[in-house]
Amino acid sequence: MTRLTASHRSDYSLFRTLATRWGDVDIYGHVNNVVYLAYFDTAINGWYLDEGMLRMGKSEKIFLVVETGAQYFAEIKFPDTVYAGISVMRLGKSSVTFDIALFTNDAETACARGQYTHVLVDQQTRRPVAIEGHTRHCFEKYLVKPLSG
Q: Which stretch binds a copy of itself (CB under 8 A): 7-15, 50-58, 83-91, 131-139?
A: 50-58
CB of residue 79 vs a copy of itself: minimum separation in angstroms?
5
Interface map 108-137 toward a copy of itself (x if CB under 8 A): ------xx-------x--------------
What is the closest distance, in whole angstroms, from the C-beta atom of residue 23 to a copy of itself in the complex? 5
Exposure string over 74-113, b if 16+ CB within 10 A, otherwise e: eebeeebebbbbbbbbeeeeebbbbbbbbbbeebeebbbb
If 0-12 CB within 10 Å is exposed, 13-18 middle and 19+ buried, where does residue 46 land?
middle
Nearer to a copy of itself, 1 or 148 (CB): 1
Q: Which is nearer to a copy of itself, 67 or 140 (CB)?
A: 67
Distance CA 70, CA 54 (A): 24
Q: What span, in angstroms and rounded, lies between the C-alpha atoms of 118 and 43?
A: 13
Residue 46 and residue 115: Cα distance in Å, rounded?
17
Q: Using CB under 8 A, which of the segments 67-75, 84-92, 101-109, 138-146 binds a copy of itself?
A: 67-75
For residue 42, state whether it binds a copy of itself (rule: CB under 8 A): yes
Identity of the residue numbered 105: N
Binds a copy of itself by CB under 8 A, chosen from 51, 67, 122, 132:
67
Our CA angle for 20, 23, 29, nearest 5°, is 85
> Which residues contribute to the site for a copy of itself (CB under 8 A)?
1-3, 17-19, 21-23, 25-29, 32-35, 37-38, 41-42, 45-46, 49-50, 56-57, 62, 64-72, 77-79, 114-115, 123
